[in-house]
Structure 1
C-alpha cells in the first residue's frame, strides 16, 4: 500500500481528532481494502474532507484504492463547485454525512461520519500514475488542477520525514486543511513513519483548541505566516508546552520580525524552528532552512530537501552558475508533479514535467549555497498562506459585474483597481466570498481609468504605482 501503512502496528493510532474520534492503522488498511472491493473501477471522486479522522480515512483510502480524489474546500462557493463539476464530471462525491442530502445523489457507502454518493456520471480514462488532484489556487475555484502521482506521494513523504527527523512517537497537530498541499504533506509524512496525527478544525483562538493541543501532547505544529501571527496574538511565547519539539513554517514569506521572534523562542526553549519553501506543483516542500541556520540565514528558504535539487536559470533558460545573481528558481526531484489539468481529458495525460519544475519565483543563491526569494515572474500572490491567482480574481469580478478591473499586490495585500465607485464594497465582498480569505487581505481602489498599452492590455507596472 501507499506509504507502507500496512506495515505499521495495526493497533497503533493513526489519527486522533478534536471531536474524540480515533483511527488505527489496522482500520485504515481494512477500510482501504473495503473500498477496493466496493469500487473496483478506477474513477474520479470529489472529496470534501474536514480535518478529522474520517476525512483522513477517506482521502487516504481512495489513494490506496486507485480511486482518484480531488480534494476540495468543504466551504467552496456553490457557483465555483458547479463549474468544477461540469468540467470534470466525477463518478462519486464524498461528503460529511450531515451534508449528503443537499447533493441529491444516491448513497453508495457510509463510514467514519462520511457518505460516498454515486453521481451517475460515466467513468472515463485516468492515467495509471495519477494518485490525486489538488486545486492550484486555494479556493478560487479555478478548473486548473495539479496532477499528482503515487511516486510523488512516496517521494514527498520520504523527503519530509528525513529533514524533519520524524519518528513513530511524534504527534503532529494538523491545523492546515487537507485540500491545501502543506496540510496533506503533514499527513503523508507522518503516516509514512507510523506517527499519530492530531487533527482539528477548531480555531486557534478557541479555548478548546489549546485544551486539545495540551491534553494530546502535540509534539509539532505546522503553519503558514498567518498561523504564526495568531500564535503571537494568543501569547504563545508565554505558554508552557513541554511536549512541543518542532515548529515548521511554509506557505509564503514570514516577516523578518516575526521570524526572529520564533527563532529566539526556539533557542530559549530548546525547540526546533524550521522554515520551508514549496508549491503544490512540487508536492509541498522543495527547500528547508536547517534550524542551526535559522538566525544567521534568517529570510532564506535554505537549500533543497533531501533527494532534490535547486538551481537558477536566466531569461534564456540557461543555468546560472554564479552566486548572488538573480534568476528563476527551478527544482528537480521525484516529488515534482505530473503537470496540470484543465479538463477531464487531461486526467489521462502522463508526466509532462519529467521531474523538473520552474517555480515562477525569482531568487538568488549566496556564497554558502543558500537561496533567497526576491520576487515572482507569475501573476499570483500568497495571501494568508493561500495561493491566489490575480488573473482568476479579475475573472471572478468581471463574471459578477460588467466592469473593468485590474489586480496587483504583494503577499500582504491584494490591490484591486476599478472605475466605478458604487461597486467598491460589492467587489470586495465578492472576492471574500469566492476565495474564503479575510476581507483585510483586499483593498479596492477607484481610479478614473485603467492604464493600457496601444493594443488594450492593462499595464500592471503602472497600475502598481497608482
Structure 2
C-alpha cells in the first residue's frame, strides 16, 4: 500500500493530532518502522483492537507495511473482541490497556495459511463481533483511498477529525485517504455533542468531518448551525440514508457558510465507498446516492417482483473485496468475486447517470401476500417526524418507534404506508432505538425487542425501556453523578453490595432481569414482557441471604449449622471477578479501594462506637488490625475475623493486579490465573507455609484466601471442564479443613458447588425480595448482630434473632442514606460553583475530577 510506504515523503507536515501532541509524517514513519520490528518478519495474522489513538494507529500501519494481514476489531466491545480471538486464533493480539498498547504474541510463526493478497479483515457494520468477515486486498484498500481522495479533492492542508471508530470501514477510509495526500487526522473519541470536541476541531483548524445519519441527529439537537467553524471545508455523510429534506437543508447551510456537503454510499464489501453525490447535484437529487466513484461503475440487474424500472444494484471496481471469511481456513482463499459486488440494494437510474436506492432486497417482506418495503415505511414515518425501524413478522409488521407516545396514530400511519390492515401492525415504543457502534439502527436488536411479543398482547406493545429512568436509578443506587447511556453497572464501579439492590430495582422497573445486565450498557437494554409469578434469583444472592441467616441463627444457638461465613468468602471472590476484572487496570484500583472503604469505614465506625460505650473490645478491633496486632488465641475480638479477612484479601489482590505484567497474564488466562491463586492459597491451608495464629488458623486471612480464590475461579469458568476442575478442587480440599466437622464441610462444599454450576434459582417474587434485602444487608447484619443478640440469647432467642436481622437492615439503610446525602450535597455544591477550584472557565475538568465515588464489594 503506497500510502503507508511513502509516509516520510511528507516530511515535517502534521500527520496525527491529539489534544496532547502532534506527530509529523517523518516521526510517524519512524514510529511505524520501529513497530514493524516488534511484529517480526514472519507473515502472521494480527488482531488489533481499534481505537482512535496514535499508538494503535502506528501498530496498524506497521502491520500493513510489513505485510501482516490485519483483523481490525472494535476495541470498545470486549465480548466481540474475545469472540474473534476464539473464532480466528490470531497469531498476534494488539490492544490498548490503560492507554498503553500491548502486543501479545501467541506463537513464533503463523497458525494459518494466509493468501498473499490478503491485507485487511473487517466485520460488516451489521455483524460486528461476528465470525463473518470481509477479506480485503492491498489493492482494494489503496484504490479506494485514491478514489475518495480524488472526488473529495483532499489536500495536504486538510485536517479531518475522527467522528467514527477506526474499526468501522467509513472511519478507517477517512484515515487512509488523508494519509495518502499528506493531510492531517485529528484523533479523538469524543462525541459531536461534547463542546470539547469542537474546541479541539477549532484549535487545530479542522477542515472536515464524517457522519452517519445518527451523527446528524445529534448535531441537530446540539445546535450545529450556531457553531463558528471558520476552517470547515466539507462534510461527508454515509452509513445509511439521510432524508431528502435534511440533505437539502445541510447542502443549503453549507452554501451559505462556505462548505460543501457530500452524500456518499458504500459497503464494507467495497472497502468503503462506491458512490458519491457531488454537492452541486444535491439540491436537485437529494434522494439519490449519486454516481459511481472514480474507477468504479454500476449496472442494474432485473429482479422478479421488483418495482418497475428497478433492479439489484451491481457494482464493479478495484475496491471490491476478495470475498468473505467465515473460518480461519478461508484466510487462504483468493479473489472469488473478481471485482463485482451484488450490493443487495434495489435501485433505479435517474437523470445524468445518478442512481437512487429505493430499498433493500432483504428488507422486502411478504405479509398477507403483499410485498412490503420496510424501508419505505420507515421513510414515510420519518416524514412525519418519527424515528422508526421496521421488522417483518410472519403475519404482521412490527414497528419500533423512538421517543413517541401515540401508539394508535403510529399504527394507523404505518398501515397506510404499506397497505396492510391496522390489525396487522404492531408498535413497540422505545426511549431510543438500539443502534450499532456506528450509529445505525441495530436490526437484530430491534427484532429482539419484540421477540416475545404477541399480536394480542398490548402490554408487550407498550413496553418501553426508559433510559432516563434507568440513568436516575443507576445514579441513585451507585451514588454517581456521571451516569450516561453508555454506562454499565461495572463501568460505574458497582459491586456485590450495590449489585443486589440494583438487580431488585432493575427487575421491578423492566419486569425481568436481563442476562449479563451488570456488564450491559444502559442504552442496550431491551423491553421484554413481564413475568409475574416466578423470578430467577441469582445463586450468589441466594447464598448470601441463606448464609447470613445461618450465621446469626447458629450464633444465637437456635440451630448449629456452621460454615456460612466461609461460603461467603467464596461468594466474595466470585463477585470480585465479575465486577472488577473486566475494567481497565487504573479504574480497577480505584473501584476496589472504594469498595474496601465501603466495607471498612462503617465497620470501624460501628466498632469505635461500641468500644467507646462498652469497652468490650481492644482498639485494634476498631482499626481492623486484630489479625495483625490483636491477642493470641481466641478472644471476642476474633468475632470480626470475616470483615478483616475480606479487607486484607482485597488490598493484597488489587496490589498484585496493579503490576502490569500480572494484569496482562490475568487478562489472557483468566481461569488458569484464578486456579494458580487457588494453588497459592492452598500452601498455608496445608501448612506448607506457616502463617497466622496457630489457634485461629481457619479464621485468618491467609488461611481462608483459597476459598476466595475458588469463588474467583468459579466466576471465570467458561466451559464444563473448567467447572469440573473447580468442583474437584473443592471436593478435595475442603474436607479436613474444619478438623472433622462433617456438617460444616458439607455446607461449604455444597455452597461453593452451587456457585460453580447454577447461575440462578427460580422462586416466587416475595421470596426473591426477601433474599435481596438479606443479601444487601448481609455485611451490616454480620457487623451488628453480636451487640444485639448477646443480652437476649438465653431468655429470648427468637427475639434476639429478629432484632439482629432488623438492626443490621436499619444500619444498611442508614449507610445508604448517608451516601445519598453525600452525593446530594456534592451535586448542590457543584451547581452553586460553576467554576470549581482547579479548572478554568475555558477548560474541561480533569479526568480525575470527573470520576465519581465508588461502592463496595463484600
TM-score category (smaller protein): 0.7 to 0.9
How do 1:56-75 residues align onto structure 2 when only pairs under 5 Å count?
56-75=57-76
Q: Which one has more relative contact order, counting CA pairs under 8 Å at least 6 apart?
A: 1
The correspondence of residues 24-423 of structure 1 with structure 2, limited to 5 A, is 24-38=24-38, 39-78=40-79, 80-98=80-98, 113-120=100-107, 122-138=110-126, 140-315=128-303, 325-378=309-362, 414-415=446-447, 416-419=449-452
User: CA 1:315–1:431 in structure 2 vs 1: closer, same or farther (change >3 Å)?
Assistant: farther
Q: Structure 1 352/362 Cα, relative in aligned 2: closer, same or farther at 3 Å?
A: same
- Between structures 1 and 2, the one with greater helix share: 2
The gaps in structure 1 that reach 5 residues or longer are 100-112, 392-406, 447-466
| Partner in structure 1 of residue 808 of structure 2 | none
The alignment partner of 2:352 has SS state of coil
SS in 1 for 2:334: coil
What corresponds to 2:23 in structure 1? 23
Name the CA shift for 1:169/1:436 in 2 (closer, same or farther; >3 Å).
Answer: farther
Offset of residue 432 of structure 1:
10
CA deviation vs aligned residue, 1:365-397 (integer Å, no higher than 9, x gap): 1133211111111369999xxxx9x99xxxxxx
2: CA distance, partners of 1:223 / 1:154: 22
Q: Is the 8 A contact 1:364 1:373 kept in 2?
A: yes
Following the alignment from structure 2 to structure 1, what is the Cα–Cα distance between the partners of residues 234 and 330?
A: 39
Hey, what does 2:571 align to over in structure 1? none
Which whole-Å CA distance do the structure 1 matches of 2:512 and 2:332 have between them? 37
Secondary structure at 1:357's aligned position in 2?
A: strand
Q: CA deviation at 1:300?
A: 0.5
Unaligned runs of 5+ in 2: 365-373, 379-388, 393-427, 429-433, 454-459, 464-506, 531-858
Which deviates more from structure 2 when the two are superposed, residues 50-59 or residues 420-429?
A: 420-429
More moved, 291-300 vs 32-41:
32-41
Residue 456 of structure 1: aligned partner = none
User: Whose Rg is larger?
Assistant: 2
Q: Which moved more, 1:162-171 or 1:61-70?
A: 61-70
**Residue by residue, what CA displacement relative to the aligned partner does 1:174-227 show, whole Å, maximum 9, x if unpaired?**
111110000000011000000011111012222211110110110011110111
Please state how far the C-alpha of 1:13 moved relative to its aligned partner.
Answer: 1.6
Q: What TM-score, normalized to structure 2?
A: 0.44
SS at 1:8's partner residue?
A: helix
| Per-residue Cα deviation, 1:104-123 (whole angstroms, up to 9, x for no partner) | xxxxxxxxx41211123853
**Which SS does the other structure have where 1:312 is aligned?**
strand
**1:13–1:196 Cα contact (<8 Å) kept:** yes
Whether the 8 Å contact between 2:125 and 2:268 is mirrored in structure 1 is: no
**SS of 2:177 mapped into structure 1:** helix
Which segment drifts farther, 270-279 or 123-132?
123-132
The verdict on how the C-alpha distance between 1:430 and 1:352 changes in structure 2, with shifts beyond 3 A counting, is farther
- CA drift of 1:231 comes to 1.2
2:43 and 2:313 map into 1 onto residues whose CA distance is 36
Q: Which residue of 1 aligns with 2:7?
A: 6
**Separation in 2, partners of 1:363, 1:83:** 35
Give the C-alpha shift of residue 419 in structure 1.
3.2
Aligned length: 405
Residues 387-429 of structure 1 show CA distances to partners (whole Å, capped at 9, x for unaligned) of x9x99xxxxxxxxxxxxxxx9x997673443237699958996
Q: Secondary structure at the match of 2:167?
A: coil
TM-score by length of 1: 0.79
Q: What do the CA deviations read for 1:43-102 (whole angstroms, capped 9, x no partner)?
A: 111111311222221211211111122111112142x43332122101111111427xxx
Higher strand share: 1
- Matched residue of 1:86: which SS? helix
**C-alpha contact (below 8 Å) 1:140/1:435 kept by paired residues:** no
Q: Is the 8 A contact 1:276 1:289 kept in 2?
A: yes
Aligned residues of 2:135 and 2:323 also touching (Cα < 8 A): yes
**Distance in 2 between the 1:435 and 1:345 partners?**
33
Listed one character per residue, the Cα deviations across residues 238-280 of structure 1 (whole Å, up to 9, x for unaligned) are 1111100101100000123322221121121121001000000
Partner-residue secondary structure (3-state), 1:157: helix
The C-alpha deviation readout for 1:298-329, integer Å capped at 9, x for no partner, is 1100010011101110137xxx9xx9711111
Q: Distance in 2 between matches of 1:214 and 1:428?
A: 45
User: What is the aligned partner in structure 2 of residue 107 from structure 1?
Assistant: none
8 Å contact from structure 2 (residues 48, 93) kept in 1: yes
CA distance in 2, matches of 1:427, 1:190: 48
Q: 1:438 to 1:431 in 2, by over 3 A?
A: farther
Which residue of 2 is the match for residue 105 of structure 1? none
Task: Give secondary structure in 2 for the equivalent of 1:378.
Answer: helix
**Matched residues in 2 for 1:230 and 1:427: separation?**
31
CA distance in 2, matches of 1:349, 1:427: 46
- Distance in 1, Cα, partners of 2:188 & 2:287: 30
* Cα distance in 1, alignment partners of residues 184 and 252 from structure 2: 28
